[in-house]
Amino acid sequence: MRFPLTYGILCCCWHVWIFGVDRVQAAIPIFTDNVAQISQNFSDLTGQVEILTVSSLPPQERENIAVNEEQTYQAFTICQPISEHEGCQEKIFIEEISTGKYYQIQGIPLSWRPFTNLGWRNETMLEFDRWSNPHYGLRYTVDMTEKKLVDITEFEQ
């Protein structure tokens, strides 16, 4: 029975190191008008996350393609090489199909981890997950109308 206790202590210390002491508590989203607002535990991340216009895309292949139901936006990931010997980092891009403009979401923590569950909640709300380990992840929601992060929800598996 010593392994589970040690594992629990290590996980707790790791979460404190990555997310800070004040955010180890559960994040509870507050819903108004069917749009979740970011809980106090993750409010400092909003200044880090940006949605920027990009003039061109990297040459790597698009992966995890998700088109909204109205076919006005297409989101996808591109795995950009870090160096010759170190693999790549996934980046999220969004194409506004009617204008041909491209946007990149920047500033999501844990840049060495892949994105999962890229999809559209509605016409303009993009959701995606980033897991810090096999048992703990964060779901991000971005509003493409306002070009900003509107929700971060933590979950465990």
For 27-156, CATH number?
2.40.128
Query: pLDDT in tens for each of the 157 residues of the chain?
Result: 344 434 444 444 444 445 554 444 343 333 334 344 445 556 666 668 899 999 999 899 999 999 999 999 999 999 988 887 788 899 999 999 999 999 999 999 888 899 999 999 999 999 999 998 888 889 999 999 999 999 888 887 7
State how far the Cα of 45 lies from the Cα of 113, in Å rounded to an integer.
17
Q: Where are the domains of the chain?
A: 27-156
State how far the Cα of 53 lies from the Cα of 58, in Å rounded to an integer.
14
